[in-house]
Chains A and B, each alone.
Chain A
Amino acid sequence: MGSYIPNTGEQRREMLSAVGAQCVQDLFASVPKDMLVGDGLDLPEGLSELEVRRAVTAMAEKNRIYPTVLRGAGAYRHFIPAVVRSVVTREELVTAYTPYQAEISQGILQSIFEFQTMICMLTGMDVANASVYDGGTAAAESIAMCKDRRRTKAYVSACAHPHVIETMRTYCFGSDTELVVVPEKDGRTDLEALKAALGADAACFYLQQPNYYGNMEDAAAIGEIVHAAGAKFVMGVNPIACAVMATPAECGADIAVGEGQPLGLDIAFGGPYLGFMAATKAMFRKLPGRIVGQTHDVEGQVGYVLTLTAREQHIRREKASSNICSNQALCALTAGVYLTAMGPEGLEKAARQSMSKAHYLAAELEKIGMKRLHGGEFFHEFVTACDKPQAVLDALDKAGILGGLPVEGGILWCVTEMVSREEIDRAVAIIKEVC
């Protein structure tokens, strides 16, 4: 039906005649004739807007929306203030390209500069980039920042998110880098194994905080072990947890990365999300991707530009350390608006409530005999042992509750500020019936 083409048949004929063509096919004269598909494409007829709305809405309706979500594992349903959607659906911001023409892109550039600043505030690091695709690719990109001629091996904790480990492994397959997984012990990185594993060829160690099981790692001690081996310490952090836990900078991280989805982005079946990357001053030139800097114009007015661009692929080509070109600008903007709306108190509230409610759920589950699988501190996720996870999850499912994620040894639960005490009590009552 429509193809959003404004020109009428008459105008097209005029234009064809202006370029000296009889018909539009003449313009494709350089395409070998027998290669043209003609009418041969097996595609459905185009639809009117009403029809397409029906068709796509029908697909959306085949998905189930759970009123209560007790599952996280890398995608977290937090409260999103109304102002966030209102700002990030403005069409100037939605439809612009990468801000190559700084004079007419100050809005995007300034929003990225503010985002970079906020990521530095959250992580305590000195410098942040304009964002990358997601937390997994941010972790994978950090390896290239740390490798040099002598230090060629990358290390990752077994307690990192499995997707992150897999993504790192795929990137390492590309760069022919050896990736060593340091084993876990009681739901945390095994410090002795880490000490033993790191050799003179260790480039970096990646630690997730809180880790995949929700447990808090002894990040500062791990940082010391990593530095003692002469390697770089990379921390992958939950940005909301950063409001309450010791920051990557306080734990001695050289690089802090993470998944920015909790900062105002919908869970949206896995994306788009937002990878953030921050580093110490000593390492900032190794950051991949776009970076915005402050400068001034010919009249002395403050303005913003993409800067340090000679690191990047469009200039360095095969000598660039990363191929990344775009960032997730609109997602970075979303995070910026979210953090502004929440403010320091609001963010701490979201973090503290998520953590407190998770502890409440853990305590209530323990009362009915579902014990935590690991000891020690946790943030807003934890694993309980469970001998019939499917029965538990099915029972919750019937009540409109997405229960925790089945993992080896039990169930990985998550609670955010979105879940009320009443909902938790209801879930526990259902579980009690099953167990």
Chain B
Amino acid sequence: MKLIFEKGAPGQHLSLLPSCDVPEVSLSQERKAPLPLPQVSETELTRHYTALAKRVHGVNDGFYPLGSCTMKYNPKINEDMAALPGFTQIHPLQPESTVQGCLEVLATAEKLLGEITGMDAMTFQPAAGAHGEFTGLLLIKAYHHHRGDSARTKIIVPDSAHGTNPASAVMAGYTVVNIPSAPDGCVDVEALKAAVGPDTAGLMLTNPNTVGIFDKNILEITKIVHDAGGLCYYDGANLNAVMGVVRPGDMGFDVIHLNLHKTFSTPHGGGGPGSGAVGCKALLESFLPGPVVEKAGDGYRFAIPEHSIGRVKDFYGNFTVVVKALTYILTLGKAGIPEAAENAVLNANYMMKRLKEKYTMAYDVPCMHEFVMCLEDLLHDTGVSAMDIAKGLLDNGIHPPTMYFPLIVHEALMIEPTETESKETLDEACDVFLKLWDLAHSDPQALHDAPKTTPVRRLDEVGAARNPVLRYTEA
């Protein structure tokens, strides 16, 4: 498909602005370079982007069991509410008295999410999960500094963690201590005991973890860290399994980030914008990025926490994403929140049970909202890899699971169906997975050659990296 730069013709344009009604001025140092932006008609423009949209698989195009990403249905009412002019047309630096509705959104979302997570305070400034991790770790850093304890230089991260965990720890100035997982995929309690000490600033953990198992030793784990003087960070990537059922705050965590774009149904937008809200217990509240929203009489106002780490972003975060998440929480309410988690877990266990008929599970125990299959034996027996199965799914209208993650499982496929998929969809998907397993044995080449029905077929990633072409240049 042509690039937008290869369409249209010089002089084609949309009629958008009137002529200038004041005397025109110019700068002494004006732009010299030409500005070769596209020149197309409105027809051409809309056709181009419609064609691009058709070359994308969204949640409404079919099943999207991408592990760890919680690709649940994105309710339309959320989008409607976020598009209200009373939100979209508000300048972030308007007087406080004229933005009380925005402050109410933030304050209400903070209260409800605080209750769901068991946290005392929250900031919505972080724009994404990784940004939330960085923010949360800075809270831990500021806390230890404030106590005059500068010896705590290490963050403990299990080897099953998402790559953002260690990367965030390093950005926050910490040294990472990787600890191996136990054979059951959970934290190796003895390894943790051996790793903690007076240099431990904290532990980063996902629970349920990246293999989809709730760590039953969680209270012991957080206690070990606390006893050593460290704090516990909860990566909220997998909160969808347990929201309304059990709270990170009650597991002993001191600070968490949420992915509002996963658990709370705001869409992913092809990679963003998301929202990585960070919640914390009272002991960290005074370190939060400013400004935070506080109650003032009948209304709300902004305030800067006493020992604030400072801003992590311009203004107040991805505000309209918070509007979507709030709409969702108000819709689900007290009963709907745990109901969503329970059904996410039920759907995952159901798929796991059906796929176990042929596939090998990395951990063959009841899972939470997702589970990991290990295709090492299939690769050994047939030469068909996890990647090949993934590409085979593409030809069947299914978005593949997360591949090759977590790193502790070889040939991993990580499946997260979410609660918004019907039994019918799960059954159809299971049939496809099982069919592909058979195909791997009968005609492995067919899977090596997949996909065949997609807009493009397998792409040369090595060539792309060796000879990077990162922009269009006129021939």
Contacts and interface: CB of A to CB of B under 8 A. Distances in A.
Interface stretch (B192-200, B331-339, B377-385, B436-444): B331-339
A270 B315 contact: yes
Contacts of B90: 63-65, 267-269
Given A134-B313, A173-B310, A377 B27 contact: yes
A51 to B, nearest CB: 8
A212 to B, nearest CB: 12
A271 B339 contact: no
A45 B335 contact: yes
A291 B391 CA distance: 22
B311 A245 contact: no
B91 A105 contact: no
A326 to B, nearest CB: 4
A308 B100 contact: no
A59 to B, nearest CB: 4
A57 B84 contact: yes
Contacts of A353: 17, 20, 22
Contact of A272 (B39, B219, B273): B273
B104 interface: yes
Nearest to B102: A269
Interface residues of A, number: 201
A5 B340 contact: yes
B146 interface: no
A247 B33 contact: yes
B245 A71 contact: no
B331 A1 contact: yes
Nearest to A310: B465
Nearest to B17: A349
- The winner among A269, A326, A330 for most chain B CB atoms within 10 A is A269
B205 interface: no
Contacts of A369: none
Given A246-B31, A266-B89, A343-B14, A2 B40 contact: no
B169 interface: yes
A348 to B, nearest CB: 7
Contact of A170 (B112, B309, B354, B455): B309
A41 B86 contact: no
B466 to A, nearest CB: 10
A179 to B, nearest CB: 11
A215 to B, nearest CB: 12
A343 B74 contact: no
Given A103-B391, A133-B128, A359 B25 contact: yes
Contact of A93 (B3, B95, B270): B270
Contact of B318 (A246, A271, A356, A357): A271
B315 A269 contact: yes
A22 interface: no
A2 B170 contact: no
Interface string A261-284: 000001111111100000000001
A332 B399 CA distance: 23
Interface string B179-219: 00000000000000000000000000000000001111011
B317 A271 contact: yes
Interface stretch (B64-72, B225-233, B278-286): B64-72
A413 B364 CA distance: 64
B141 to A, nearest CB: 7
B interface, size bucket: 35 or more
Interface in B212-266: 213-216, 218-219, 242, 244-247, 250-251, 265
A62 B84 CA distance: 12
A10 B42 CA distance: 51
A127 B470 contact: yes
B313 A167 contact: yes
B370 interface: no
A99 B271 contact: yes
A16 B342 CA distance: 11
A332 to B, nearest CB: 8
A124 B32 CA distance: 10
B185 to A, nearest CB: 12
A135 B349 CA distance: 43
Nearest to B36: A121
A116 B244 contact: no
Interface string B59-96: 11100101001011111010111011111111111110
B316 A271 contact: yes
A307 B32 contact: no
B87 A6 contact: no
Contacts of B112: 43-44
Nearest to B35: A344
A318 B166 contact: yes
A32 B218 CA distance: 9
A103 B454 contact: yes
A430 interface: no
B152 interface: no
Contact of A106 (B21, B56, B129, B170): B56
Contacts of A183: none
A170 B309 CA distance: 6
Contact of B342 (A27, A55, A121, A273): A27
A313 to B, nearest CB: 4
A33 B319 CA distance: 37
A345 B171 CA distance: 42
Given A111-B52, A329-B269, A77 B91 contact: yes
A356 B246 contact: no
Interface string A314-351: 11111110111111111101001101111111111110
The 10 closest A-B pairs by CB, nearest first: A270-B315, A60-B86, A46-B333, A330-B269, A62-B101, A272-B273, A270-B92, A329-B271, A313-B167, A3-B336
8 contacts: A11-B423, A44-B334, A59-B104, A101-B400, A164-B314, A330-B270, A342-B16, A353-B22
